[in-house]
Structure 1
Amino acid sequence: MTRVEVFTRDLCGFCTRAKRLLEDKGIAFTEYNATKDPSLREVMVKRSGQRTFPQIFVGDIHIGGCDDLYAAERSGKLDAAISGEIAQ
């Protein structure tokens, strides 16, 4: 399965929703919590170009934030990215 990474922060409802979707689909992911390690925010911004949380990556593909993740789920692009059918 393709590597999934989620950059989060504490007390973020969007982060909670994004993680819940991944968990409900049985998708394992690595969480990088910038509240616990503030240097992770710099890593996230460098990789995504975005400053808001969460930011989700599937392999080398930047999915975006929570709304983008749900849109990818609705369109079938999330499953395609997870299965490796979409490459960047």
Structure 2
Amino acid sequence: MQITVEIPDPIAQRLDRAWGDVSRRLLEMIVADAYRCGEVSTAEVRQILQLQSRQETHAFLKRMGVYLNYDEAELAQDIQTLGKFRAQ
């Protein structure tokens, strides 16, 4: 899907000087907010922004001030996985 946003030229030019690629910045802001609201996963963030790795995705979210969605079930799974590795 392609979305068009109308911004007056003088403001767009000022934002472009401040942010660089305004289109990319807007996409990043939308994706970060969608992740924050639970609408997209980290894998989808990575896919949308064409990031190279999970670490790059986590770094992006950190830069945007978004905490990873990590619930108790995921913590329990990680503890169980850690226990398996320690037993080996």
Greater helix content: 2
Tell me the TM-score normalized by structure 1: 0.30
**Greater RCO, 1 or 2 (C-alpha within 8 Å, sep 6+):** 1
Greater strand content: 1
Tell me the TM-score normalized by structure 2: 0.30
